[in-house]
Structure 1
């Protein structure tokens, strides 16, 4: 699944599933204690969310088949029915999300394919591209916004001191891991920020070219509000 957009191949797979047929096959799988015809719906091609629920149902079926004692059978039976419900819910939820995305795509599209840097420095940046228009009859306007963030690399004195100083290579590896996690946080926040701005009716002309991410006053790092470029700064 894309970060904020359902990939085209997954949209096709989700759209091909008939909800009534899915429920019928789930009930059949529970009754016969085997997934059988359920796998012919290509649920595994619908993205990780739906695929994980299918996997959970398969596991619940296996545990129910293995159970022998009446009390255990009752427990695994309840778990199996919950797993079936979860799979049905996941497909309906993704269908609803797909319909929302397709409706929104008439007025705006945020590109969630962001290039991962080869190496990270303390100066992080994420460029988010988008296109938008006020009505479906207007021409598309293309734009982008670059979110920047300078990572605070001062030591965290709240952590206990290490007994033995790591090697230079280990320190560099740990630094790159930390910077990657911070960049990923920045990237995710940036994408959702632009998406939510348009979703709430924001004007694309008012999106700045660059935005310095705000930091948490306590942790000195990023938080859930760091990429809200339209939010009034303190």
Structure 2
């Protein structure tokens, strides 16, 4: 799945599933104690969320099938029923999300296909591209905003000092790992901020070309508000 958008192939798989048929096949699988015709539905192509719920249902089905004692059958049967309901709910939730995305896509779209840099430096940046229009009758306007964050790499004195000083290569590897995690945080925050801005009716013409991410006064790092470019800056 994309970071904020459901990929086209997953949308096609979701559209191929009839909700009533799904419920019927889940009930049938529980009665027959095997997946059976439920395998015909493209559930594994609907993304990791639904795939995970299907896996849980399969596990619950296996435990129910293996149970022999009445008490164990009752316990595993209850778990199986809940897993089946969770699977149906997951499909319904993803369909509703897809419908919401398609409705929003008539007036804005945020591109979430962002490739990380090969190597990270302490000055991180993420460029988010988008298109928007005020009404479906207007022409599309294309734009982008670049989020910038200068990582504070000063040592954290609250963590214990290693007994042996790591090699220069190990230090650089640790540095790259830390910067990579911070970049991922910046990237996700940037995407969700632009999407939420448009969801709340924000004017695309007022989005700045660049934005210096704000930092948490306590951690010196990013927080949930760091990329909200429309907030009043201190």
CA distance in 2 between counterparts of 1:54 and 1:159 reads 41
Report matched runs for 1:150-229 at 5 Å. 150-229=150-229
Report matched runs for 1:96-135 at 5 Å. 96-135=96-135
Query: Secondary structure of 2:202's match?
Result: coil
CA distance in 2 between counterparts of 1:167 and 1:61 reads 50
Q: CA deviation at 1:183?
A: 0.2
Corresponding residue number in structure 2 for 1:13:
13
Q: CA deviation at 1:4?
A: 0.2
Q: CA deviation at 1:63?
A: 1.0
Q: CA deviation at 1:67?
A: 1.3
CA distance in 2 between counterparts of 1:139 and 1:193 reads 23
Larger CA deviation: 159-168 vs 91-100:
159-168
CA distance in 2 between counterparts of 1:174 and 1:69 reads 52
Deviating runs (4+, > 3 A) in structure 1?
A: none
For structure 2, which runs of at least 5 residues remain unmatched after alignment? none
Corresponding residue number in structure 2 for 1:146:
146
CA contact (8 A) 2:16 2:42 kept: no
TM-score, normalised to structure 1's length?
Answer: 0.99
> What value does the CA root-mean-square deviation take over the aligned residues?
0.6
Query: Secondary structure of 2:74's match?
Result: helix
Query: Secondary structure of 2:157's match?
Result: coil
CA distance in 1 between counterparts of 2:226 and 2:74 reads 48
Corresponding residue number in structure 1 for 2:67:
67
Q: CA deviation at 1:16?
A: 1.1
Q: CA deviation at 1:138?
A: 0.5
Give the count of matched residue pairs. Answer: 234
For structure 1, which runs of at least 5 residues remain unmatched after alignment? none
Corresponding residue number in structure 1 for 2:87:
87
